[in-house]
Structure 1
Amino acid sequence: MELSNKQITVIFKSLCDENRVQIFRILQNGELCACHLLEELHLSQPTLSHHMKVLCDSGLVVGRKEGKWMHYSISAEGAKIAVDCLKEITAVNESECKCCNK
């Protein structure tokens, strides 16, 4: 599966914020209700909602509604795509240099 540059940017932009990285680390222990994330992170509800939207839009996190609360967890598929993407864009091509014929 080849991702566009835009899709790659969305994935990695979602992890370019300290709060979102902290949320991702918290979710490594399993699904969690937004109310517990709010307590642990000491963020306002609108700020948490913004961060969760960014993480969900990237595909790294999924949410499900239960009653009035959202429950979030890491998407195994989204995480695999991010890992594969990082491997792909950091792979060094050892082919001959085309600019100086070496």
Structure 2
Amino acid sequence: MTYEEYAKVAKALSEPKRVKILDMLSCGEMCACDILEHFDFTQPTLSHHIKILVEAGLVTAEKRGTWQHYSINEQVAQQYIQGSIHLLTHSSECICETEGIQKEAKSLSSFVSR
């Protein structure tokens, strides 16, 4: 996961309604109609929030009949969690420990894949 990908996920998580949607999806796949019951907004607004979560890679969508069904993309969620641990803790693999100018170009991918 690159810094850009990490930041895109973080930005998607910056809206409390999207965080609540992810919390709901942590229980398992849900239909858009079921998610919508827990909010006081319209289906187009839900679609907007879901679109941002899908573009960030956090959520996958599958159309069945007239409704979309959503679930958490576990791989991206785990990469984000591991990236957060890496960014927020000091280790020998920290960017401050790498050498020269290359440290600016480093991505989180080498740390997330463990």
What residue identity is the alignment partner of 1:50?
H
Query: In the aligned structure 2, how far is the partner of 1:28 from the partner of 1:7?
Result: 21
Counterpart pick for 1:77 among 67, 75, 78: 75
TM, length-normalised to structure 1: 0.83
In structure 2, what is the equivalent of residue 44 of structure 1? 42
User: 1:28 and 2:52 equivalent?
Assistant: no
Query: In the aligned structure 2, how far is the partner of 1:58 from the partner of 1:84?
Result: 16
Structure 1 residue ranges without an equivalent (≥5): 97-102
> 2:38 aligns to what SS in structure 1?
helix
Counterpart pick for 1:87 among 82, 85, 88: 85
Q: Please state how far the C-alpha of 1:4 moved relative to its aligned partner.
A: 2.6
What residue identity is the alignment partner of 1:73?
S
Query: In the aligned structure 2, how far is the partner of 1:93 from the partner of 1:28?
Result: 30
Query: In the aligned structure 2, how far is the partner of 1:34 from the partner of 1:89?
Result: 33
What residue identity is the alignment partner of 2:82?
D
RMSD: 1.7
Q: Please state how far the C-alpha of 1:93 moved relative to its aligned partner.
A: 4.5
Structure 2 residue ranges without an equivalent (≥5): 98-114
How many positions carry a matched residue from both structures? 94
User: 1:55 and 2:57 equivalent?
Assistant: no
In structure 2, what is the equivalent of residue 99 of structure 1? none
Aligned residues: percent identity? Answer: 36
TM, length-normalised to structure 2: 0.75
